[in-house]
Amino acid sequence: MDRTASAIWLGGLKDGKGTVSTESGALNKVPYSFTTRFEGAKGTNPEELLAAAHAGCFAMALSAELGKAGITPNKLEVTATVTIDMVQGQFVITKSHLDLTAHIKGADKARFDIAVRAAELGCPVSKLFRAEISVSSELIYL
């Protein structure tokens, strides 16, 4: 199963602008720029999109792990905070922190904690943050 998204960037880093789109159409030419990424301007940025992916993935992984433990959640609220820091003169994504509020009737705390840990380790997006990255490229001469 493959899922795709695309980005188009026009211009230099600080004065340029780009758009991101997803295969599903959930995002369609959504604008982003240096100011939305690094200066808090209104709009999206890659780290925000990673945070959304991590929160959504973790919520689903936790639901699956809870199901294995015989627990059905009423509601799982997950907020992911992806941190980008300057490290040795370069921007680096240094962490993704998940805040979870779980609404579950009569859940056993020990089994809940085990399920949370399993979801933390098993969530595919969590694994991506530890994954090998590869790039294929093509240069078109103008």
Every domain of the chain and the residues it spans: 1-44, 45-132
At how many degrees (to 10) do helices 46-68 and 109-122 cross? Answer: 130
Per residue in 68-90, pLDDT (tens digit) is 999 999 999 999 998 888 899 99
What DSSP line would sit under 73-135, residue for residue? -SEEEEEEEEEEEEETTEEEEEEEEEEEEEE-TT--HHHHHHHHHHHHHH-HHHHHTTS----
Per residue in 4-22, pLDDT (tens digit) is 999 999 999 999 999 999 9
Look up the pTM and report it.
0.87
CATH classification (class only), 45-132:
alpha beta
